[in-house]
Structure 1
Amino acid sequence: MKRAGAILGLALLPLGWAAAAGGGMTGHMVGHMLAVAVAAPLLAWGLIDGPLDLARRAPRLARPMPAMVVELAVVWGWHLPAARALADAGGVALVVEQAMFLAAGLLLWASVLGTGPERRASGVGALLLTSMHMTLLGALIGLAPRPLYAHGDHALADQQLGGVVMLMVGAASYFLGGLAMLATLLRQRGATA
């Protein structure tokens, strides 16, 4: 089952990259959300206990709260208007952006899904905080009164839809992941009590 998750995560990446390469702000958000909120958790889950299990191979690197801060910096950094314009121009900047989204998402999810109850407890916090910052950024993008990233007849509508995609997929993925981990922890503690 885990292997199938990793394969599905890998299969979704090209779809997201294609959307990001040619779909305006909405396409960018579809690519971004597929990378960090769908493919990354599937890949991290599929790699648990294998030779590429980041939490086991690099336990000092794969810590939930520092990984959350890295993910926050990557996501917010690439949504600054100048960085967004650079990636929208395509080429190397778009590849670097998408690679950073995937790497940050994979680091966070691998850290959160790592072994041990203490890691899972901080993982709940990391996922819920990520949900909060994704919600805030999605709302800022979606509710902005003017286009922040592009110009043209439909730039504001495209930006608003992109913000909705971030709210619906990103915030929900991290929030539901955090709640699922919390439920697991509470069940485990109840079973040992």
Structure 2
Amino acid sequence: MRRACLFTGLALLPLGLIASDMGMTGHMVAHMTAVAVAAPLIAFGISGTRADPAMRLPHIVAPMAMMLVELATVWLWHLPTLRAAAHGSWMVMAIEQACFLVAGLLLWSSVLHAPQRIAGIGALLLTSMHMTLLGVLIGLSPRPLYVHHGTYFGLDVLADQQLGGVIMLVIGGASYMIGGLVLLAGLLKAREDAPA
């Protein structure tokens, strides 16, 4: 099971890179593929191995700290200046995608190994909230926030941006919310099974 998750997560990464040059919609598909789909699969796949960052650096790779790293990564790369740099250069875009993958991997790895499961649950739920907020801000903006050349998927620039915001809102928000709820269910089950 772990090996299948690892290979699936790794296989999704090139698809994200291909999509990333297709306007704001493709950009969001690429980011969500890296941070909210591939990262948790890879983190689960390497969990408990020497490649697991939370096992190697447990005092640094902690849920709340990694939630802040992920938050800073996501919000900084969505500043218009950095977004324009990534849109204009494949190298910058690859660095951007790597940042998203690493931030997501660190967060998910920390959550899977949190000594206090409630910290992992809180980190995922807070991440879900900030992903949702950024998706809403991008999706509901009355004007284009980012410069893109050409149209994609038959959409004008503003509609493309709005669809990108919806993708972030749905995939990003859902991935972390579901992860938090799965951890919460595990915590509740462990308490039920504990002797009185």
Please say whether Structure 1 and Structure 2 have the same fold, judged by a TM-score greater than 0.5.
yes
Q: Residue 10 of structure 2 corresponds to which residue in structure 1? A: 10
**Is the contact between residue 17 and residue 30 of structure 2 (CA under 8 Å) also seen in structure 1?**
yes
Q: Residue 39 of structure 1 corresponds to which residue in structure 2? A: 38
Between the aligned partners of 1:81 and 1:107, the Cα distance in structure 2 is: 25
Deviates more, 1:165-174 or 1:50-59: 50-59
Deviates more, 1:134-143 or 1:90-99: 90-99
Q: What aligned pairs does 1:58-73 form with structure 2 within 5 A after superposition?
A: 58-73=57-72
Q: Residue 130 of structure 1 corresponds to which residue in structure 2? A: 127
TM superposition shift of 1:190:
1.4
Between the aligned partners of 1:91 and 1:17, the Cα distance in structure 2 is: 9
TM superposition shift of 1:95:
1.2
TM superposition shift of 1:115:
5.2
- CA deviations 1:47-106 (Å, max 9, x no partner) are 111121211111122100000000000000000111100100023211110110000000
1:53 is aligned to 2:52 = yes
Q: Residue 147 of structure 2 corresponds to which residue in structure 1? A: 150
**Is the contact between residue 19 and residue 29 of structure 2 (CA under 8 Å) also seen in structure 1?**
yes
- CA deviations 1:111-153 (Å, max 9, x no partner) are 001153x1x2100000000000000000000000000002567
Q: Residue 118 of structure 2 corresponds to which residue in structure 1? A: 121
Q: Residue 86 of structure 1 corresponds to which residue in structure 2? A: 85
Amino acid at match of 2:57: A
Between the aligned partners of 1:75 and 1:115, the Cα distance in structure 2 is: 22
Amino acid at match of 2:187: L
Between the aligned partners of 1:97 and 1:126, the Cα distance in structure 2 is: 22
TM superposition shift of 1:186:
0.8
Q: Residue 19 of structure 1 corresponds to which residue in structure 2? A: 19
Between the aligned partners of 1:168 and 1:88, the Cα distance in structure 2 is: 23
Amino acid at match of 2:2: K
1:188 is aligned to 2:190 = yes
Aligned-residue RMSD, C-alpha: 1.1
TM superposition shift of 1:178:
0.3
Partner secondary structure for residue 33 of structure 2: helix
Between the aligned partners of 2:59 and 2:91, the Cα distance in structure 1 is: 30
Q: How many corresponding residue pairs?
A: 190
> How high is the TM-score relative to the length of structure 2?
0.94
Where in structure 2 are there 5+ consecutive unaligned residues?
Answer: none
Structure 1 runs (4+) deviating above 6 angstroms are none
Partner secondary structure for residue 108 of structure 2: helix
> How high is the TM-score relative to the length of structure 1?
0.95
Partner secondary structure for residue 45 of structure 1: helix
Q: Residue 96 of structure 1 corresponds to which residue in structure 2? A: 95
